[in-house]
A = this chain, B = another copy of it.
Amino acid sequence: MTDTDGKSPRERYRAQVRAEIKERAWEQIATAGASALSLNAIAKKMGMSGPALYRYYAGRDELITELVRDAYRSLADTFHAASASGPDVATLAHALRGWALADPQRYFLVYGTPVPGYHAPEDITAIASEVMAVLLDACAAPPPDAPATPFGTHLEGHRHWAGDHPAPPAVLHRALTFWTRLHGLLSLELAGHFTGMGFDPALLFAAELDELLTDSSGAG
């Protein structure tokens, strides 16, 4: 308690080392993918012996889970920041693209190919809901009431994923559409499926966003 923010020097040191471990882990993921992440390799890069890391993480799984958590957290923060000046779909879309391009492997850790059998802990799915809530807010904002699509009607009976958000069916549908369309664009772009095709991915993204804004998608 004699310390600035209630942390002892040792606690601060611990936090610092934990942070560096994660930093190296991200570097490693960027280089060789998430499945190649290795505690021993991280330790070596840090000039430490392998077992030393077990002072900071119970094991490889705990580290990976924390990386996934951080990735979700970072996306949620980005979304919150983007909608700080009022909920807006376009702002959110650009924030999402910026976040994705800043670190493709982080994006893939969230939305990429899942490891069969892995289930994220509850607190992570909670952050995912947070992201969805911001998106729903933005989708609810400009067009106050659009006619419900048939699928929107279906959604009305399955709105559990929207939490306690009072969005009407058309908004639910719009949010899902926003999510799936932009994910389609971003994941293909980040995976490099557009490279060699010549066109500018940013323009395709802009065009798709434009259509998402102007036209129907949940508004007949």
Contacts and interface: CB of A to CB of B under 8 A. Distances in A.
A30 B116 contact: yes
Interface in A198-212: 198-200, 203-204, 206-208, 211
A180 B212 CA distance: 14
Contact of A206 (B151, B173, B182): B151
A192 interface: yes
A112 to B, nearest CB: 4
A134 to B, nearest CB: 17
A82 B46 CA distance: 54
B216 A211 contact: yes
B179 A181 contact: no
A33 B149 CA distance: 37
Contact of A154 (B117, B182, B203): B203
A45 interface: no
A154 B184 contact: no
Interface residues of A, number: 55
A135 B36 CA distance: 35
A60 to B, nearest CB: 14
Contacts of A154: 199-200, 203
Contacts of A192: 114
Contacts of A184: 179-185, 187
In the A-B complex, the 6 residue pairs with the smallest Cβ-Cβ separation, listed nearest first, are A184-B184, A158-B198, A35-B35, A151-B207, A112-B113, A161-B197
